[in-house]
Amino acid sequence: MSQKRIILERSFAATLDEVWELWTTKEGIESWWGPDGFRVAVRKLELRAGGVLEYDMIAVAPEMDTSWRWRLPTMA
């Protein structure tokens, strides 16, 4: 079985500390994650090997009438 990798790259007009905060804290993720018309509520965030990110994506725009719950699979 081959290993799968995901590489994310993006340039920001921000300090490394500011970007780190956005990606590694409940408040940071909730402030930007998700498409327009939705808000995100982080339920569980464990930053470690084999950790977990669980969140609810909740519709706030009138034309959106559903919410999703997503859990990242455990990496072996």
Q: Supply the pTM of this predicted model.
A: 0.66
Please name which of 1, 67, 7, 8 lies closest in space to residue 37, comparing C-alpha atoms.
67
The pLDDT assigned to 9 comes to: 87
In this predicted structure, what is the pLDDT of residue 75? 64
CB contact at 8 A, 55 and 70: yes
Q: For 49-75, write each residue's pLDDT tens digit.
A: 889 999 998 888 767 665 556 666 666
Domain ranges, ordered by start, for the chain: 33-76
Give CA–CA dist 31/13, Å, rounded.
Answer: 17
